[in-house]
Amino acid sequence: MAAKRRTAASPDPRTDCSREGLRKAVLDNLFYATGHAQENAARGDWYTAVAYTVRDRMLKAWVQGIERIAADGDVRCVAYLSAEFLIGPQLGANMLALGITEPMREALASLGQDLDAIVFHEPEPGLGNGGLGRLAACFMDSLATLGVPAIGYGIRYEFGMFRQAIEDGAQVELADKWLRRPFPWELPRGGQQYEVRLGGKTHMETAPDGTLRVQWTPAKTVTACAHDIPVVGHGGTHCNLLRLWRAEAVEAFDFSTFNAGEYFSSVHDKIFSETITKVLYPNDDPYQGKQLRLGQQYLFVSASLQDMLHIHHSLGKPLETFHTTFAIQLNDTHPAVAVAELMRLLVDVHGMDWDTAWSVTTQTFAYTNHTLLPEALEKWPLPLFAEVLPRHLEIVYEINRRFLESVTAAHPEDPDLARRLSLIDETSPRFVRMAHLATVGSKAVNGVAALHSELLKRDVLGDLAAFFPEKFTNVTNGVTPRRWLALCNPALAACISNRIGTRWQDHFEEEIIRLEEFADDPDFQAQWQAAKLTNKQRLTHLAKTILRVELDPAALFDVQVKRIHEYKRQHLNVLRVIALYNRLRRNPGMDFVPRAVIFGGKAAPAYYLAKQIILLVNRVAEVVNTDPAVAGRLRVAFVPNFNVRSGQVIYPAADLSQQISLAGKEASGTGNMKFGINGAVTIGTLDGANVEMRACVGEENFFLFGLTTDEVQAVQRAGYSPAAHLEGNPELAEALDQIRSGVFSRGDAGCFRPLVDNLLHRDEYLVLADFASYMDCQDRAARTYADPAAWTRMSILNVARLGMFSSDRSIREYCRNIWNVPVE
Ligand code: F58
């Protein structure tokens, strides 16, 4: 009663969302959280004060969310296990979810502060490599928005994805010290700590009840400490949890050695423990087996499962019903050791019989695959696995023994099948195949786009899919329309909301289609174009300040931002730029649609050819941007350090989205969707989710080129000869020749030799085979762009018809078809 009376009279200063309330709270936090008075506060202090003010307003929903998970055993909770969560800057997204952006903007303006500048100041937690980690973050946003109880479990890397600098055209990696200042969105949870064992030996022991149990004597034990980040859904009522684990030494010092004077060995254990979660591995593909990485995977998996068992136990439910409390999704195979770990916890620690434990396990897990590159399938060398996880190897062997027995019994006619399906790759050296472990231990396996799921069944996991046909399914990826439209593109969002209201923000599929009827409306088209221009000016400003490259906002903004990889074919794009440049030089008076070609993306530090591609882009930019013959009609820019934050500026500014991977290589892609819902038209191959996007927007609203997956396979079977494509294509031959002879390397003829030789003699990703078709398609795109009404219509129809690519739709499908969790 008393509390109610206070609400009526004076609102709680920690939850008041009025302009005046926010203003007071920011000043209060400025003083008490940063120790600064208004006069001498720096931008970072204002950021901290605003962040704490917003966090206070999330805490009620946050605490209720945790209580709901811990108290309501009737609703199955989703546990999303992912080694990466690329959550991006939090402040803007959280204000949007709570609906307090505008009052906060006004409150800060009254204090002489600019909200946008403060939002832009926030360091970004780069806890992921790319698409896979960002997908996990979009899914967390959708789970909270749909009110599905969920915990995201992952790793709190001290150093996230490296910061990319470009020095003299080349990528340089710098450490990402995102925790230099305290991260205001996390709460360290002293109460949630679990011990995780590593290494050592196993032996049998007789339990008090007379049964034999395996005992694991580890070589080391480390503590996993929980750090919780709130994930608030749109509207602010539902809040879920992202629980990231940090490794800590069990004992800070081994005092016996310390006392003996061996200072260094005494701190060694502490250093080893804390190393486990020190740094994110920056390789997006192919997979590399490193002992520390297996340690990272196991640490977060073991701590997460112990945490779930603790929650399940606190609900008073019997262990046999664990799968009714949690549905665990394995985001790729990085957490797949969870299958063996849950078996160990149930059998070794809790004394459950193997068959019951296996039944619980296989009803708990589901596995999402994210790749079509066979070399990216994770496999661990047996000796390494045995050294880090001796008990788990025994469990894997036992799972495999039983599984292969069933394989041989079911298919006596195919004696080789057991070898192909085995969890162990018996080639020398021997490996544990993590995708096989994940598949055998899960009740569902999905790919991330329709084509990908088909190719998984046909090729990559063909034998497993034939053996478990009922497990294999598809859930096409999606992206959150909150961050990837409402937040990053306020100009277009306002234009949309003026016509169809704001309900599209959390009912995207249902509502956004209503834009279709305005596609030819001249007023709407004019507003649409104005919004795009605003966004292009924003990117122009960024390019000017950080790159000193002058872009023309009237030019066609033609953008390829994503990890740099040969299969994604940024070099196809560069060859095209060189060919355009040559055309302009040869014929300066030609009719030419001005273009700004923008690149961005990181290369894995040890990926030599990807780094050559970055250097080539920058060298081509150097030549093209300074050549008076092209007179600014063609510009090339490489935006350094592409990440979530810069993505939020780049996607909204694009006219043309480059999705040009070789068909059959990109599992889905999600950048394609982010561009699309921001009004960019796609030029792309029939790869990943491009296929479904094209079907949705209509073939007349998509620039298609290139070989299909089947054609690619046919070409490769017949014996592909890259050089053959030079004969009929003098533009291509000229471009390659220029790269080779030093035109784009300041006369150094050897500089790009590895890249050119690779294209001429190997060209695994058929760049030369698709070049002619790509050039033609680019010409079609330019002609269409020259007609603003036709282009704008395409742009509007792209947005209107991409409703299904909201991650809300993906999550509904997971809930219904995989997790068996109720959703509205
Ligand atoms: C990506 N994979 C796919 N892996 O390449 C992309 O097509 C898909 O849209 C996306 O997943 C989401 O499903 C990807 O990003 C990684 O970054 C791994 C990180 C850890 C090491 C191995 C690669």
Residues lining ligand 1, Cβ inside 6 A: 129-132, 135, 283-285, 287, 370-371, 448, 477, 666-670, 688
Mutational test site, ligand 1, from 132, 134, 380, 673, max ligand atoms within 8 Å of CB:
132
Average of pLDDT values for 555-578? 98
Looking at this protein, which amino acid is placed at residue 120? F
- Give the pLDDT confidence score for residue 692 in this predicted structure: 99
Q: What are phi and psi of 424, to 5 degrees?
A: -110, 125
Task: Give the CATH fold of the 488-805 domain.
Answer: Rossmann fold (3.40.50)
- The tokens for 171 are 């990528």
Query: How many whole angstroms from its chain centre is CA 78?
Result: 19
Interacting residues of 83 by C-beta distance below 8 A, sequence separation 6+: 154, 155, 296, 297, 300, 331, 332, 334, 335
- Give the pLDDT confidence score for residue 632 in this predicted structure: 86
For 696-713, b where at least 16 C-beta lie within 10 A, e where not — what string?
bbeeebbbbbbbbbeebe
Share above pLDDT 70 across residues of the chain, in percent, rounded to a whole number: 97
Q: How far is the CA of 708 from the centre of ligand 1 (A)?
A: 22
CA-based angle 447:488:500, to the nearest 5? 90
For CA atoms 686, 84, 139, 49, the dihedral sign is negative
Break the chain down into helix, strand, coil percent, rounded to 5. 55, 15, 30
For CA atoms 439, 810, 808, 687, the dihedral sign is positive
Residues making up the chain, counted from first to last: 824
Average of pLDDT values for 12-16? 90
Q: How far is the CA of 668 from the centre of ligand 1 (A)?
A: 9
Contact (Cβ atoms closer than 8 angstroms) between residue 570 and residue 611:
no
DSSP 8-state assignment for residue 162: P
CA-to-CA distance for 498 and 531, rounded, in angstroms? 13
Q: How far is the CA of 132 from the centre of ligand 1 (A)?
A: 4
Q: How far is the CA of 159 from the centre of ligand 1 (A)?
A: 19
Average of pLDDT values for 610-633? 96
- Give the pLDDT confidence score for residue 8 in this predicted structure: 55
Alpha carbons within 13 angstroms on the beta-carbon side of residue 267 total 4
pLDDT at 320 over 70: yes
Query: How many whole angstroms from its chain centre is CA 114?
Result: 30
Q: Could you identify the atom of ligand 1 that is nearest to the CA of residue 134? A: 12
- The tokens for 394 are 């025994």
pLDDT at 2 over 60: no
CA-based angle 157:162:166, to the nearest 5? 170
CA-nearest of 242, 795, 143 to 482 is 143
Average of pLDDT values for 554-562? 98
Q: What are phi and psi of 201, to 5 degrees?
A: -140, 165
Q: Could you identify the atom of ligand 1 that is nearest to the CA of residue 334? A: 20
- Give the pLDDT confidence score for residue 259 in this predicted structure: 63
Q: Could you identify the atom of ligand 1 that is nearest to the CA of residue 477? A: 13
What digits encode the pLDDT tens for the residues 95-122?
999 999 999 999 999 999 999 999 999 9
DSSP 8-state assignment for residue 805: G
Q: For all residues of the chain together, what is the average pLDDT?
A: 95
Average of pLDDT values for 448-473? 98
- Give the pLDDT confidence score for residue 203 in this predicted structure: 96
Tokens 């350094």 — which residue? 640
- Give the pLDDT confidence score for residue 67 in this predicted structure: 82
Tokens 């030819």 — which residue? 520
Mutational test site, ligand 1, from 279, 284, 672, max ligand atoms within 8 Å of CB:
284
Q: Would you list the domain boundaries of the chain? A: 72-89+124-477+812-819, 488-805
Q: Could you identify the atom of ligand 1 that is nearest to the CA of residue 284? A: 23
Q: How far is the CA of 234 from the centre of ligand 1 (A)?
A: 26
- Give the pLDDT confidence score for residue 26 in this predicted structure: 98
* Cβ neighbours around 11 below 10 Å, total: 14
Task: Give the CATH fold of the 72-89+124-477+812-819 domain.
Answer: Rossmann fold (3.40.50)
Q: How far is the CA of 375 from the centre of ligand 1 (A)?
A: 13
CA-to-CA distance for 161 and 131, rounded, in angstroms? 13
Q: How far is the CA of 697 from the centre of ligand 1 (A)?
A: 25
What digits encode the pLDDT tens for the residues 284-294?
766 677 999 99
pTM for this structure?
A: 0.97
Q: Hey, is 432 helix, strand or coil?
A: strand
Q: Could you identify the atom of ligand 1 that is nearest to the CA of residue 368? A: 13
Instruction: Quickly state the pLDDT bin for 65 (edges 50, 70, 90).
Output: confident
Contact (Cβ atoms closer than 8 angstroms) between residue 680 and residue 536:
no
Pick the residue whose CA is nearest to atom 20 on ligand 1: 284
Pick the residue whose CA is nearest to atom 2 on ligand 1: 132
CA-to-CA distance for 573 and 567, rounded, in angstroms? 12
Query: How many whole angstroms from its chain centre is CA 600?
Result: 16
Q: Could you identify the atom of ligand 1 that is nearest to the CA of residue 287? A: 22
CA-to-CA distance for 659 and 677, rounded, in angstroms? 14
- The tokens for 649 are 């500026």
Mutational test site, ligand 1, from 155, 287, 370, 373, max ligand atoms within 8 Å of CB:
370
What digits encode the pLDDT tens for the residues 663-717?
999 999 999 999 999 999 999 999 999 999 999 999 999 999 999 999 999 999 9
pLDDT at 253 over 70: no
CA-to-CA distance for 791 and 769, rounded, in angstroms? 28
DSSP 8-state assignment for residue 16: -
What digits encode the pLDDT tens for the residues 491-525?
999 999 999 999 999 999 999 999 999 999 999 99
What digits encode the pLDDT tens for the residues 582-603?
999 999 999 999 999 999 999 9
Q: How far is the CA of 530 from the centre of ligand 1 (A)?
A: 35
CA-nearest of 426, 434, 251 to 338 is 434
Pick the residue whose CA is nearest to atom 23 on ligand 1: 284
For CA atoms 91, 93, 96, 97, the dihedral sign is negative
List residues with catalytic annotation. 370, 562-563, 568, 670, 674
Q: How far is the CA of 448 from the centre of ligand 1 (A)?
A: 10
Q: Hey, is 79 helix, strand or coil?
A: strand
For CA atoms 816, 821, 822, 823, the dihedral sign is negative
Q: Could you identify the atom of ligand 1 that is nearest to the CA of residue 283? A: 21
Q: Hey, is 561 helix, strand or coil?
A: strand
DSSP 8-state assignment for residue 532: H
Concatenated DSSP letters of 180-219: SS--TT-EEEEEEEEEEEES-EEEEEE-TTS-EEEEEE-S
- Give the pLDDT confidence score for residue 4 in this predicted structure: 42
Contact (Cβ atoms closer than 8 angstroms) between residue 643 and residue 161:
yes
Strand partners, 560: 599
Average of pLDDT values for 45-65? 94
What digits encode the pLDDT tens for the residues 761-781?
999 999 999 999 999 999 999
What digits encode the pLDDT tens for the residues 114-157?
999 999 999 999 999 999 999 999 999 999 999 999 999 999 99
CA-to-CA distance for 308 and 810, rounded, in angstroms? 24
Q: Hey, is 391 helix, strand or coil?
A: helix
* Cβ neighbours around 256 below 10 Å, total: 9
CA-to-CA distance for 386 and 398, rounded, in angstroms? 14
- Give the pLDDT confidence score for residue 260 in this predicted structure: 62
User: Strands (DSSP E) along 42-113, which ranges?
Assistant: 77-81
Pick the residue whose CA is nearest to atom 19 on ligand 1: 284
Strand partners, 328: 79, 365
Q: Do 72-89+124-477+812-819 and 488-805 come out as alike in CATH topology?
A: yes
Contact (Cβ atoms closer than 8 angstroms) between residue 226 and residue 290:
no
Contact (Cβ atoms closer than 8 angstroms) between residue 805 and residue 677:
yes
Q: Could you identify the atom of ligand 1 that is nearest to the CA of residue 83? A: 20
Kindly calculate the radius of gyration of the chain based on its CA atoms and give it in whole angstroms.
Answer: 28
- The tokens for 497 are 């909301």
pLDDT at 391 over 80: yes
Tokens 């602010």 — which residue? 236
What digits encode the pLDDT tens for the residues 184-224?
999 999 889 999 999 999 999 988 888 888 999 999 999 99
- Give the pLDDT confidence score for residue 252 in this predicted structure: 58
CA-to-CA distance for 572 and 594, rounded, in angstroms? 20
Q: Hey, is 588 helix, strand or coil?
A: coil
What digits encode the pLDDT tens for the residues 163-179?
999 999 999 999 999 99
CA-to-CA distance for 119 and 98, rounded, in angstroms? 15
Q: How far is the CA of 331 from the centre of ligand 1 (A)?
A: 10
- The tokens for 774 are 């790509």
- Give the pLDDT confidence score for residue 525 in this predicted structure: 98
Q: How far is the CA of 392 from the centre of ligand 1 (A)?
A: 26
Please classify residue 354 by burial: count the beta carbons closer than 10 Å to its beta carbon, then call 0-12 exposed, 13-18 middle and 19+ buried.
Answer: middle
